[in-house]
Amino acid sequence: MYTNLKIIAFDADDTLFINEDYLEEAIFEYEILLSRFGVQDISSTLTNTYINNLPSYGFGIKGIVLTMIEVAARVGSYGSSDDVISEILNIGKKLLSRKAELLPNVFSVLNELKSRYKLVVATKGDLKDQKRKLRETGLLDYFDHVEVMTDKNEYDYKTLLGLFSVEPSQFLMVGNSLRSDIEPVLNIGAHAVHIPYHKTWEYESVADGKEARNYIKLKSFEDLLTIL
């Protein structure tokens, strides 16, 4: 199946290292903050507003924090709005400075694959934050290229393939999101491996009905070595 494979690309958040758990903790802290002023059940409003803001802010913590401030200003009336904004900014700063934590077996798998394939990070989010996490975890040296995309659609993946002058049949994407890591890759005729994370952001959730010849679903990162 992978006799012609040249490049393996990996998503970063919740594929290489933990992200969604930390984000949920930050949102919970935000909800506690607003609840002090009588604001309840704000999670869906925050998610919907963030999604609506994606064309302006893109993906990443900075966009989330700006959305938190926007939602807080819209739904609440505070005795001191500066204090609320300051606390929201602190939530974001804690996220941006939180030590990245690798998922199991990432080092051993990448070490095995690096000698046989060109390895690439293909992810969304804030460029500085993603490179910080890769550097902090010691992963940066394992990759030949890091691509932080504004989105992950068919055009973006075709552009990435063009950067390396490879055909879709020579490209494999590994990630936890069916919406961002799997569907657009399959649509351009490339290979995709889905490794689900135990939590999935609502925006990335789509039904898993994939039966494509060039698609495999695995239980763990370590299982990559059983197919490559």
- Evaluate whether residue 2 is within a structural domain: no
Q: Are residues 130 and 48 in the same domain?
A: no
Whether residues 165 and 109 fall in one domain:
yes
Question: If we measure between CA atoms, which residue out of 209, 22, 46 comes closest to residue 103?
Answer: 22
pLDDT at 133: 93
Q: CA 178 to CA 192: how far, in whole Å?
A: 10
Select from 64, 79, 97 the last residue of a domain. Answer: 97
Are 212 and 138 within one domain?
Answer: yes
Tokens for 133, please give them.
């996490």
The DSSP letter of residue 174 is E
> Is the pLDDT at 45 greater than 80, yes or no?
yes
Residue that is last in its domain, among 77, 97, 117: 97
d(CA 6, CA 225): 16
Residues 6 or more apart from 88 whose CB is under 8 A from it?
30, 33, 65, 68, 69, 72
Residue 201 pLDDT class (50, 70, 90 cuts) = low
Q: Are residues 89 and 127 in the same domain?
A: no
Better-predicted residue by pLDDT, 53 or 207: 53
Average pLDDT over residues 202-215: 62
Domain that holds residue 25: 20-97
**Residue 170 in tokens:** 């020579």
107 & 216 share domain: yes
* Residue 162 and residue 87 share a domain: no
CATH at 142: 3.40.50.1000
Work out the angle at residue 17's Cα, subtended by the Cα atoms of residues 87 and 209, and round it to the nearest 5 degrees.
110
CB neighbourhood size of 56 (10 A): 9
pLDDT of residue 3: 84
Q: Are residues 143 and 214 in the same domain?
A: yes
Within the chain, what is the greatest distance between any pair of CA atoms?
65
Assigned domain for 1 exists: no
Q: Is residue 110 domain-shared with residue 83, that is, in the same domain?
A: no
Give the closest residue to 19 by CA, choosing from 185, 178, 108, 133.
133
**Cα(164)–Cα(106) distance, integer angstroms:** 24
- Span 138-150, mean pLDDT? 94
Which domain-ending residue is among 71, 97, 123? 97
In the chain, the number of structural domains is: 2
Q: What is the CATH number of the domain that holds 49?
A: 1.10.150.240
Residues 97-132 pLDDT 10s: 888 899 999 999 999 999 999 999 999 988 899 999
Alpha carbons 172 and 188: distance in angstroms, whole number: 11
Residue pLDDT, tens place only, 48-104: 999 999 999 988 899 999 999 999 888 876 545 668 889 999 999 999 988 889 999
Instruction: Judge if 116 and 204 occupy the same domain.
Output: yes
Same domain, 186 and 119: yes
Q: Which two tokens stand for residue 201?
A: 């952001």
Same domain, 104 and 84: no
Tokens 């491996």 belong to residue: 193
Q: What is the mean pLDDT of residues 143-167?
A: 94
Question: Which pTM value belongs to this model?
Answer: 0.90
Same domain, 118 and 218: yes
